[in-house]
Amino acid sequence: GQNIDQPTEMTATEGAIVQINCTYQTSGFNGLFWYQQHAGEAPTFLSYNVLDGLEEKGRFSSFLSRSKGYSYLLLKELQMKDSASYLCAVMDSNYQLIWGAGTKLIIKP
């Protein structure tokens, strides 16, 4: 079966750096996505990786290793507004998105 694994919850301190991991086993691969979802709100797109390596976008970076079935989202200079759930999703060979359950990130002052 297809599976996306990510930690259920993480805690970090304001101003620090946090890395949220995602491992996947899917039928084919056509890209990996990260979305941010604040409590009670809709998910919003953060990043897309289809080739191995690091994609940087401001304070957020996303890394992909296709051979290891592994990705991480790196958040730098954490702010209180970064408290949210972070969803990892993989597009399989049928171009369907397979979603992880999400990682709830708690930022403490």
Partner 1 sequence: NAGVTQTPKFRVLKTGQSMTLLCAQDMNHEYMYWYRQDPGMGLRLIHYSVGEGTTAKGEVPDGYNVSRLKKQNFLLGLESAAPSQTSVYFCASSRRDEVTGELFFGEGSRLTVL
Six-digit token string for 40 = 């009670």
Contact 43, 105 (CB under 8 A): no
Counting contacts by CB under 8 A, is residue 69 touching partner 1?
Answer: no
Counting contacts by CB under 8 A, is residue 63 touching partner 1?
Answer: no
Query: Cα torsion at 29, 61, 63, 26 (round to 10°)?
Result: -30
Counting contacts by CB under 8 A, is residue 39 touching partner 1?
Answer: no
The correct pick among 18, 22, 91, 107 for binding partner 1 (CB under 8 A) is 91
What distance in Å separates the CA atoms of residue 62 and residue 109, rounded to the nearest whole number?
A: 24
Taking the least distance from each CB to partner 1, the nearer of 16 and 101 is 101
As to burial, measured by CB atoms within 10 angstroms (0-12 exposed, 13-18 middle, 19+ buried), residue 63 is buried
CB of 17 to partner 1, least distance (A): 25
CB of 15 to partner 1, least distance (A): 29
Would you tell me which residues interact with partner 1 (CB under 8 A)?
Answer: 4, 8, 31, 33, 35, 40-45, 48, 87, 89, 91, 95-102
